[in-house]
Amino acid sequence: MSSTTAYATGSQPATRPLTLRLGTRRSALATTQSSWVADRLRALGHTVDLVTIVTEGDTSTASLSTLGGTGVFAAALRRALLAGEVDFAVHSLKDLPTAPEPGLTIAAVPVREDPRDVLVASEGRTLGELGEGAVVGTGSPRRVAQLAALGMGLSFKDIRGNVDTRIAMVHGGALDAVVLARAGLARLGRLDEVTESIDPLQMLPAPGQGALAVECREDDDATRSALAVLDHADTRACVTAERAVLARLEAGCSAPIGALAEVVEGEDGLELSLRAFVGAIDGSVDLRRSVVGPVDEAATLGHRLAEVLLEDGADVLRGPEERPPADTGGPDPTGDRPSGPGQPPDPPGANGATPLAAPDRRPENDSTERAT
């Protein structure tokens, strides 16, 4: 290291501008998010160099559930952090496992983007305009479960790929629509391609969706001090509550999970409103519960809501590995997809052997919501 370059590797709080190495995935969204954080640190006088790190999630075409789901994008970044190859990393918070990583700490959770999911559909259609039998692409069992519960007769295709790849599947006619996180499109400046922002009453986002996690080594006080100024207290409280729901439910059920917390004005001042969803992958059960409590008790609130969901049946719901395929008219001789009438060929990046089944009835009788 040259005498003119001061990397943050010591254990003392920063007393002067630092030169920091930021580990980032190579995708356009990851580098955009990392650059957003880097620019804010540069505005404070620090020098930030981006270091590209390739993760298994970037190179594999397997479904996320096969790769291990949450954490597949973070593992390589965390290894680089622990090895001292970079000083900090920027993650999409929903990609991080809920269990803490020994030796690392989330030094900042910056202000959150809009956490909603959005639809990008052909011909500018909304959900209500897609029509029965329309094929929607998503790699998220959470999205499949909630869309299936709407009883619209949709089918679903398990897809992978970056934003360009997924939207191209719609423009190319292979899919009728894809569902994406609004935050990613906002950060990429592509909100003009959204045909509908989906109301959380219809689809709750993934816990932590729309938020970033800025992570560094626990013993690197200089970097922790530099990053801490980016922390947004309300956002951290919200995602803490959401991830507390997820952490408790992961121990008690394998079904798709959604959660959204908001800081709202209550009778006695600000409070935290938390909603969560657990459902069956075929849409036959749509279990929703909500709680309200003090902002400074976010984790406790999340655990309490998870316990309510478990008591009300979340522990017996089916996980994504049990989702049934749609009956589309007979097997394809290639084995890749059924050859029913009107079925387009699989788009590049699709993993599922068949479209997933939509429920054969509207599941109102099994859809319940209760505030606690």
Contact by Cβ (8 Å): 22, 80: no
Strand partners, 22: 50, 88
pTM: 0.81
Distance CA 162, CA 177 (A): 15
For each of the chain's 372 residues, which pLDDT tens digit applies?
333 344 454 444 445 899 999 999 988 999 999 999 999 999 999 999 999 998 654 444 444 444 444 456 789 999 999 999 999 999 999 989 999 999 999 999 999 999 999 999 999 999 999 999 999 999 999 999 999 999 999 999 999 888 999 999 999 999 999 999 999 999 999 999 999 999 999 999 999 999 999 999 999 999 999 999 999 999 999 999 999 999 999 866 668 999 999 999 988 899 999 999 999 998 888 999 999 999 999 999 999 999 999 999 988 775 555 444 444 333 332 333 333 334 444 444 444 444 444 443 333 333 344 454
Buried b (16+ CB within 10 A) or exposed e, 77-92: bbebbeeeebbbbbbb
Query: Tokens 């939207």 label which residue?
Result: 167
Q: How many residues does the chain have?
A: 372
How far apart (Å, rounded) are the C-alpha atoms in residues 17 and 229?
A: 14
pLDDT for 125 equals 97
Q: What is the pLDDT of residue 318?
A: 56
- Work out the number of other CB atoms within 10 angstroms of the CB of residue 227: 28
The predicted pLDDT at position 26 comes to 87
Catalytic residues: 95
pLDDT number for residue 198:
97
Residue (of 253, 157, 140) closest to 203 by Cα position? 140
- How far, in Å, are 133, 175, 326 from residue 343 at the CA level? 10, 10, 12
Residue 178 is predicted with a pLDDT of: 98
